[in-house]
Structure formats: structure tokens, C-alpha cells
Amino acid sequence: MIAFNQPLKILKPWVESLPQGLFDLEINNLCFDSREVNAGDAFFALPSVAGNEVQNITQAIERGARVIFAESHIGQSIALVDVPCVPLTDVMSVAGNVIAQVLYQGRADLQIVGITGTNGKSSISFYLAQLLTALRSECAVMGTVGYGQWDQLKPTGMTTLPLEKLHHVLKALSEDYQAVAMEVSSHGLHQNRLSGVNFDGAVFSNLSRDHLDYHGTMDAYGQAKALLFKRPELKFAVINGDDDYAQALIAQSTVQPMTYSQSNGADLVFKIVNMHEQGMTVEFAWQSQVQQVVLPLFGLFNAENVAAAILCCLNMQFEFKDIMDACSALRAVPGRMQQVAVSVKQPLVLVDYAHTPDALEQILSAIKQHAQGNVHLVVGCGGDRDSGKRSLMGKIAINHANKTIVTSDNPRSEDPLDICKQMVTDLTGDFVIEVDRARAIKRAILQASDDDIVIIAGKGHEDYQEINGQRHHFSDVEEAKKVLQLEKQI
């Protein structure tokens, strides 16, 4: 709910279909949730995945709504109701623009960079925020892990917030920051939940199998991602030139994108010089400038993510040398190759959010280059989601890890044992099934030697397990620390 206390004619710039007879109608509040409506309010019937717009409108009218704004085809369903209904061709766009431009207009110079892709969104947003802050342009993060200062986030539980909440947060951030690095999900783009947000820049990390339970096909999934690059207000675009979807995205962008790649010909070229237990040394080349930097991060994909953040900074007119100097202090994202350490003489334990086949293969391939001993993997798959990726995840796990423990993730309404069995059907190798995730983590760490690496994949920063509609507190990081503390005492 947003306080309005003005006549409806104020909305005319964004509601061309507003009848003149409603111009002087006084409205108390603008509401986007029918449960919040009171007498004298206007209600925007936003599209619902469940398709219950008519029920929401009915509830809003019962609670005293003075006017309804709804999609044209929805408005026809309530034509006989004695409350005016203003038909709109795109209610989300109207609502977003009304909220942003009339009610919550922040500082005009707030720079917003949208980051999309199957994997790497959180990491790129965190690295960009850290670099910009080091370059004296305070930057907030907004995405899967939460929003606010990159190391003091307020959790949200989703990548892209609902429309009204998103603008509330942006308004608050605009008071303390010069920029926002915002993760942008395919769901949020497809559902038009970014309406009213003016993006200065757009970043694409990669495209691989995920969310097909929602999008249906990889082509539809890719087209949803491309919507970010079709926005007319963009000033710059950054694309991973090594991804198979890069050229298709470049062709659809409203601005000429810059690319980052390991191959010559990209705007920013990078290469791994060496990998070690403390991270990796990476060389970056921009125009005629070349510089090496030691990154306290693990994996080729993290070099890619840092490259994306660097190229954003370059587009935002910061000097290459200053950016390179800031890179050595970068810190990992919570739950993204996050090291869990208690004592020096213990296996390296890393917690990662990898929950897609591509992400899992990337982290396992990358960590082998840092490993002196064996790689132990704890991994599962979520319930009530794309079941087609389960066997792919199992095959990748067993092919790339020396020892694999298949366990529960977020089973939701499914039997976790059934999910685990689907992951390893017809597979052979060094793996066991341990449905209890805490026991699986304990087993993996205790069986590892000091030279080994343990990867706990799938949940990352999440501090819960979702089982039969209930969220129970569970943190991979906390469980790993318990075991490491126990091992230290032995």
C-alpha cells in the first residue's frame, strides 16, 4: 500500500485510458494487494501466476475500493460491478511507472546495473559492489542473498522482489548509495517485475539448463534473459563472449555491448596465470594496458565473474589501473565457493550454491586445479522443480568428484530418497546415498584428509531446508563448522 491522497488525474501521463469522468476522483492509497484495500483506495490487479486476478478484484471491491486498474481482458469479467474499472494493456508497466516516477522517485543520479544469467549473478553483483565502493562510489547489492551493503545484507528470499517491494527498497537504497548492482531473474523479467526501473547497464554471465519447469524450453528461457538487453534506457551492456548465447544476445541489445573473454578480440581479455591454495593469479588486458592481479577466489568461473565486474567499472568511466588495484581485496560471496575454516591442518571445505548441471560441473572442474588430494562432494537436487536435471547432476558429480555423497536438498513435497535415487539411476562409481544432509556433511569432512577438498553444493547461503511446505533452519556453513570444530578437538 502506498499513500496517495490525490485526484486520479495525476496518473494521466501513465494511464492514457483514464476516463475524464474519473479525473477528480480522490484516492487515499494505491494498493497492489487486495488484502490491504480500505474504503477510498485504488487497486491495481497485478497479474498472478495462479491466475486469481478476478478473485483479488472481488475482494478489493468488497473492502471498499473506489476504482480498479486491470488488464483489459480481466476488466471484462467484472463489467457489471458498480465500481469503475480502468482497462490497461499492461498493468505491470503502468504500476511500475506510477510507483517509481510519482511516488518513489529517488536521486536522479542513482546508477542501476542489472545482472542476469543462469549462474554468476550473485558473484558479479558482489564483486561490482566491492569494486565501486573501493573506487569511492558507494554501491549496494540487491538479489538472491539480500539487499543493502554487500557485507551487511537484509535477506529477501528471492532474486527479484515483487514490484511494490522492489521500488520501496530502491527508494531506501537511493538515500545512501550512488549505485545498485541488481540481480535480475528470468522470472522477474518474464513477469515484468522490473517495470519502472531505469537500468544504466545490463550484464549477461551465461545460459545453461535451469527453470525449464517454468519456461518450458531453453529458447524461451533465453528470450526471457534477453528482455533486459532490449530496454531502451540502457547506456551500456556487458556480455560473456565465451558463452554460446552471446551472439544471439548481442544481436538483440539496444546498445552495442562490450564483451569479456579468454580469447583475443574481446574488449576485456583475461587469462589464468596460475592457481594455488590461496586462489589464483589472473592477467587482464584492456586496450593497451595489461596487468596481473592475485584474486583470493577459486575457479575459472570466478575469474569470469570478476571480469564482468571490471568491464562494468570501465563502462562507468573508472580507470583500469585503479580497478586492478581494488581487485586484490575482493571477498567471496556468502555461499559461493565460501571457505569454511576452523584450523589450518584440516581439509579445505567450500560451500557453494551450485544447483544446476552447468554450475556443478564448473565448480568441480575448477576446484581440481586447486586440489592436491581428493575432491569430496555433498550434493542433492530440489523437489518440485525440473526433474530432468537430476540424472545430469548425478552423472557430473560421480564423473568429476573422487567421492560423492548424494543427499537431500530442498525436497519440498517429494520423498528425498526418491530424488536421490533418480540422481544415480544406472550410474556406477564411488558414491553413497545419505538422505540426512547433516550426516552427509559430517561424513564427507571426517573422511577427508588435510590435503583434500570438500565441496558442499546446492544450497549455498540458504539457512533453511524446505520440507513438506515448512522451512526448517539448516545452514551448510553452520553444519560444516560444527564438524570442523569436532575434528579439531579429536
Q: How much of the chain, in percent, has pLDDT values that exceed 70?
A: 97
Name the domain boundary from 78, 102, 126: 102
Predicted local distance difference test score (pLDDT) of residue 64: 96
At 415, is the pLDDT very low, low, confident or very high (cuts 50, 70, 90)? very high
Q: Residue written as cell 586440489?
A: 371
At 377, is the pLDDT very low, low, confident or very high (cuts 50, 70, 90)? very high
Helix axes 390-400, 357-368, angle to 10 degrees: 10
How many CB atoms lie under 10 A from the CB of residue 187?
16
At 129, is the pLDDT very low, low, confident or very high (cuts 50, 70, 90)? very high
Same domain? 293 vs 154: yes
Beta strands in 277-385 (DSSP E): 279-286, 289-295, 338-340, 348-352, 375-379
Pairing of strands 236-240, 201-204: parallel
Residue 333 in any domain: the answer is no
Instruction: Give the count of domains, the chain.
Output: 3
Same domain? 342 vs 469: yes
Mean pLDDT, residues 258-282: 93
Same domain? 166 vs 295: yes
Residue 121 in any domain: the answer is yes
**Ramachandran angles phi, psi of 379, nearest 5°:** -155, 150
Residue 354 in any domain: the answer is yes
Helix axes 320-327, 121-134, angle to 10 degrees: 110
H or E segment and range at residue 139: strand 139-142
**Ramachandran angles phi, psi of 422, nearest 5°:** -65, -30
Helix (H, G, I), strand (E, B), or coil: what is residue 233? coil
Same domain? 429 vs 290: no
Find the domain containing 92 and state its range. 2-102
Same domain? 414 vs 294: no
Residue 313 in any domain: the answer is yes
C-alpha cell at 235: 547506456
C-alpha cell at 348: 579445505
Helix (H, G, I), strand (E, B), or coil: what is residue 159? coil
Residue 332 in any domain: the answer is no
Mean pLDDT, residues 330-344: 86
Q: Which residues, including other chains, have CB under 8 Å from residue 88's CB and lie 6 or more apart?
A: 15, 17, 69, 70, 71, 72, 94
At 76, is the pLDDT very low, low, confident or very high (cuts 50, 70, 90)? low
Same domain? 170 vs 246: yes
Ranking 48-62, 117-131, 204-218, 414-428 by mean pLDDT, the lowest is 204-218
Provide the CATH number for the domain around residue 469: 3.90.190.20
Provide the CATH number for the domain around residue 89: 3.40.1390.10
User: Distance of CA 3 to CAs 103, 169, 244, Å?
Assistant: 9, 16, 47
H or E segment and range at residue 181: strand 179-183
Q: Is 113 exposed, middle or buried (0-12, 13-18, 19+ CB in 10 A)?
A: buried
Predicted local distance difference test score (pLDDT) of residue 341: 83
Name the domain boundary from 85, 102, 119: 102
C-alpha cell at 20: 475524464
Say yes or no to pLDDT of 465 above 90: yes
At 107, is the pLDDT very low, low, confident or very high (cuts 50, 70, 90)? low
Name the domain boundary from 299, 327, 355: 327
Same domain? 261 vs 192: yes
Mean pLDDT of the chain: 92
Q: Tell me the pLDDT tens digit for each residue of 24-49.
A: 999 999 999 999 999 999 999 998 87
Dihedral of the CA atoms 340, 302, 222, 401 (nearest 10)? Answer: -60
State how far the Cα of 109 lies from the Cα of 101, in Å rounded to an integer: 14
Say yes or no to pLDDT of 427 above 70: yes
**Ramachandran angles phi, psi of 267, nearest 5°:** -70, -40
Say yes or no to pLDDT of 141 above 90: yes
Q: Residue written as cell 474519473?
A: 22
Say yes or no to pLDDT of 166 above 70: yes
Residue 346 in any domain: the answer is yes
Mean pLDDT, residues 374-399: 96
Is the CB of residue 160 less than 8 Å from the CB of residue 193?
yes
Residue 22 in any domain: the answer is yes
Residue 289 in any domain: the answer is yes
Residue (of 223, 175, 125, 215) closest to 461 by Cα position:
125
Same domain? 274 vs 413: no
Q: Please count the residues of the chain.
A: 490
Say yes or no to pLDDT of 103 above 90: no
State how far the Cα of 306 lies from the Cα of 124, in Å rounded to an integer: 6
Predicted local distance difference test score (pLDDT) of residue 78: 66
Predicted local distance difference test score (pLDDT) of residue 155: 86
Bridge partners of 404, per DSSP, are 377, 431
Predicted local distance difference test score (pLDDT) of residue 313: 98
Mean pLDDT, residues 151-175: 88
85-88, strands of its sheet edge to edge = 2-7, 26-31, 42-44, 67-71, 85-88
Same domain? 18 vs 115: no
Same domain? 151 vs 286: yes
At 209, is the pLDDT very low, low, confident or very high (cuts 50, 70, 90)? confident
Same domain? 196 vs 313: yes
Same domain? 97 vs 117: no
At 370, is the pLDDT very low, low, confident or very high (cuts 50, 70, 90)? confident
pTM of this prediction? 0.80
